[in-house]
Amino acid sequence: MIAVISADLLASSSYPHELMERVLASLNREFDFLKQTSDTDPGFRIFRGDSFQGVVHDPSMALRVGMQLKTAINRLHLKQSDTNKAFKREADLRMAIGIGTYDFKRESILESNGEAFQFSGRTLDEMKKENRKLKLKTPDTEINEEFNTSFHLFDTISDKWSTASAEVIYFLLKGFKETEVADELDISQSAVNQRKKAAGWDAIEVLLTRYQKVISTNFKNG
């Protein structure tokens, strides 16, 4: 079993050229990081200019990876003033996680196929008719129902993030401690703590823990 993440940028045709350049550069940096830190190349690739897909070989980590990719672009903005200020988010994505078999492997991830690819791709297509930004599809209906309910709540929480909130969540997802985030952003630890609370980090951490436990119990890695 593997997890496949499929995503597309929301309203990308309205992005200024500079913002699109920053979004694509940020995503490619994250893809490089995932490749360097994975035993098996996840093969994340951008296609059609505003969509991407890749494999997470440990399905229980797919939600964390997806959130890292989301926050990597949620934190971007084009404002010229102090980058530590909170601004309205200018970039976001729609993302589907599919967990299933990996039946047909090719050198390019875009030419590979299997249950996980079909779950992810079809779910993303369905989401375009819904007001949803994150969904999960697995062979287990009960698991799908549990997490898609939770993900609906996560959408509501993350839609309220500022760029500053998303940036703090980004580093927390990477495993940074509050003091390390403060040093990285050149702000106080209390400011980090305030942004963390405003972004709903405690609830997000509970969701990540629950997801990892359920998925690792029900779906074997690899």
49 — pLDDT class (breaks 50, 70, 90): confident
For residues 7-26, give the mean pLDDT: 95
C-alpha distances in Å from residue 17, one per residue of 12, 24, 72, 135: 10, 11, 18, 29
The reported pLDDT for the residue numbered 161 is 96
Percent share of the chain, pLDDT over 90: 79
Domains and CATH numbers, the chain: 2-218 (3.30.70)
Report how far residue 162's alpha carbon sits from residue 120's, in angstroms, rounded to the nearest whole number: 28
pLDDT at 40: 83
Q: How far is CA 114 from the centre of its chain?
A: 22
> What pTM does this model have?
0.92
Helix axes 163-173, 62-74, angle to 10 degrees: 150
**How far apart are alpha carbons 14 and 11 in whole angstroms?**
6
Res 131: pLDDT:
86
